[in-house]
């Protein structure tokens, strides 16, 4: 099947590579597709499962000369490949990347990008607002994009969507972070805007999105676990519950949002039941005392604390991914509160304590308990299976 081509354009540093990486995942590959000589200005990516080719304009900068070179590379790539009898290399869609942290520059940047892409007169455009960490600013930023485009008379009709994204988790401090957002929306919208014949099947896109959601969700769990370990390892005059609560909540909220379960009234009840089981879990508290009672264990209290905190946050994260995915795929109903409680409880039950105990014992044997990074390495492979 023919692959559609997505041209990614935007100034250096705006986040194009980060975005492409987040969309395609680890299995993406740079291809040598296209003739030599052009690829130094272009990076062309494909992935087995993603139905489109992504063309990254490397070295596109404010300078007109550099923009011209980058665009010329795209032109040459299209022409040369057609000449060589290769696959279709027509640009089907453009992602205009603009930096969400400098919205004052939107009008200027959009003017520049429109000029640079003027040769693709009727190709649809999605404006991707990258680094869109500030949620309250998103609505205003979208409006600014719309207004800036309205001034580009010839191309204003090409603007089809504006999507704010966070391509990879942005960490503000130990307890606050902006999770990935907008990535699967961008994937879905991209497919919708592809011409018939190139458009991927709904089912393929759905499967791909599901896989990406999982990967993004797991990265959120990784960050949250790291935060918990870091916070719990440092002695501070606050109780652990006070410090870990916000991390657990931020994690669940981010995961719910990735699985699009953050909108309805029913979702509130559903999410609350996860929070309740997670934070008030008697089993998790039991883990603490049982670990301290392991004979012959010689690990500093702060390290033990950090392990337990990290393990609890990781288990809540794993459990949330499991239930949110089942809701997203329609295998389970959001009204099934008993089910979600059971899953979460099983994640933090005796099996959980056994797993954590095993980690602690292994760590104690190696004496390898010096820093947060090492603790994380011990914890993250720890998958607490739900038996529901
Ligand atoms: N945390 C985070 N950093 C980002 C994001 N997007 C871009 N960056 C950072 O911004 C810098 C430039 O990004 P890059 O993708 O290389 O930009 P490019 O020059 O347009 O390809 C890098 O340090 C990235 O890590 C994002 O969504 N989250
Ligand atoms: Mg780059």
pLDDT for position 41: 73
Report CA(63)–ligand 2 centroid distance (Å).
16
Residue 82 CA to residue 71 CA, distance in Å, equals 17
| CA-20 nearest atom, ligand 1 | 15
Question: How many angstroms separate the most distant Cα atoms in the chain?
Answer: 76
Token pair for 361: 């014992």
Q: What is the CATH number of domain 4-181?
A: 3.40.50.300
Beta-bridged to residue 177, according to DSSP, are: 171
| CA-21 nearest atom, ligand 1 | 15
Sheet containing 29-30: order of strands: 29-30, 42-46, 52-57, 4-9, 93-99, 125-130, 159-164
Q: Where in the chain is the domain with CATH 3.40.50.300?
A: 4-181
The DSSP output letter for 200 is: P
Report CA(65)–ligand 1 centroid distance (Å).
23
If DSSP states are collapsed to H, E and C, what string results for 67-127? Answer: HHHHHHHHHHHHHHHHHCCCCCCCCCEEEEEEECCCHHHHHHHHHHHHHHCCCCCCCCEEE
- For tokens 């519950």, what's the residue? 241
CB 144 within 8 A of CB 107: yes
| CA-12 nearest atom, ligand 1 | 19
pLDDT for position 364: 74
Spell out the residues 6+ positions from residue 207 whose beta carbon is closer than 8 angstroms to its own.
49
pLDDT for position 386: 41
Report CA(190)–ligand 1 centroid distance (Å).
21
Q: Measuring from each residue's beta carbon to the nearest atom of ligand 1, which residues come in under 6 Å?
A: 10, 12-18, 130-131, 166-168, 170
pLDDT for position 197: 87
| CA-167 nearest atom, ligand 1 | 27
Report CA(148)–ligand 2 centroid distance (Å).
25
pLDDT for position 218: 92
- Say which ligand is closest to the CA of 12: 1
Along the 388 residues of the chain, how does pLDDT read in single tens digits? 678 999 999 999 999 999 999 999 876 767 655 544 545 678 889 888 888 999 999 878 888 888 888 888 888 888 877 666 666 788 999 999 999 999 999 999 999 899 889 889 899 999 999 999 999 999 999 999 999 999 887 778 899 999 999 999 999 887 788 999 999 999 999 999 999 988 999 999 999 999 999 999 999 998 998 898 888 887 777 777 777 888 988 999 999 999 999 778 888 889 888 888 876 555 556 666 666 666 666 677 777 778 888 888 888 898 999 999 999 999 999 999 999 998 888 887 777 777 778 877 777 777 656 666 777 777 766 654 443 3
Phi and psi dihedrals of 7, rounded to 5? -95, 125
pLDDT for position 283: 53
Report CA(336)–ligand 1 centroid distance (Å).
40
Which ranges in the chain belong to alpha helices (H)? 16-24, 64-83, 106-116, 138-150, 183-193, 202-233, 240-258, 265-280, 282-292, 301-328, 337-347, 350-366, 372-379
The DSSP output letter for 166 is: B
């Amino acid at each position: 099947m023919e692959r559609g081509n997505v041209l990614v354009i935007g100034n250096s540093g705006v986040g194009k590579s980060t975005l492409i990486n987040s969309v395609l995942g680890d299995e993406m590959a740079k291809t040598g597709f296209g003739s030599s000589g052009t690829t130094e200005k272009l990076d062309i990516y494909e992935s087995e499962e993603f139905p489109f080719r992504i063309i990254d304009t490397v070295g596109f900068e404010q300078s007109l000369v550099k923009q011209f070179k980058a665009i010329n590379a795209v032109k040459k790539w299209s022409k040369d490949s057609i000449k060589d009898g290769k696959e279709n290399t027509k640009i089907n869609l453009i992602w205009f990347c603009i930096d969400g942290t400098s919205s004052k520059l939107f009008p200027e940047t959009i003017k520049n990008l429109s000029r640079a892409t003027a040769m693709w007169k009727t190709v649809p455009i999605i404006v991707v607002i990258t680094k869109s960490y500030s949620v309250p600013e998103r609505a205003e930023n979208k409006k600014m994009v719309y207004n800036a485009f309205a001034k580009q008379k010839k191309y204003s009709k090409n603007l089809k969507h504006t999507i704010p994204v966070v391509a990879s988790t942005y960490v503000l401090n130990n307890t606050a972070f902006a999770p990935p957002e907008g990535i699967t929306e961008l994937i879905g919208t991209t497919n919708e805007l592809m011409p018939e014949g190139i458009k991927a099947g709904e089912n393929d896109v759905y499967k791909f999105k599901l896989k990406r959601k999982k990967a993004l969700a797991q990265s959120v769990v990784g960050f949250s676990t790291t935060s918990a370990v870091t916070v719990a390892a440092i002695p501070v005059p606050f109780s652990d519950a006070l410090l870990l609560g916000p991390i657990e909540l931020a994690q669940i909220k981010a995961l719910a949002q990735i699985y699009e379960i953050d909108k309805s009234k029913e979702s509130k009840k559903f999410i609350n039941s996860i929070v309740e089981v997670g934070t008030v879990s008697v089993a998790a508290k039991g883990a603490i005392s049982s670990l301290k009672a392991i004979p012959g264990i010689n690990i500093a209290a702060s390290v033990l604390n950090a392990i337990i905190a990290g393990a609890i946050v990781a288990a809540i994260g794993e459990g949330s991914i499991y239930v949110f995915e089942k809701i997203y795929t329609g295998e389970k109903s959001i009204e099934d509160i008993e089910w979600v409680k059971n899953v979460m409880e099983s994640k933090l039950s005796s099996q959980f304590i056994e797993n954590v105990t095993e980690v602690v014992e292994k760590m104690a044997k190696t004496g390898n308990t010096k820093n947060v990074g090492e603790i994380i390495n011990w914890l993250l492979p720890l998958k607490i299976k739900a038996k529901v």
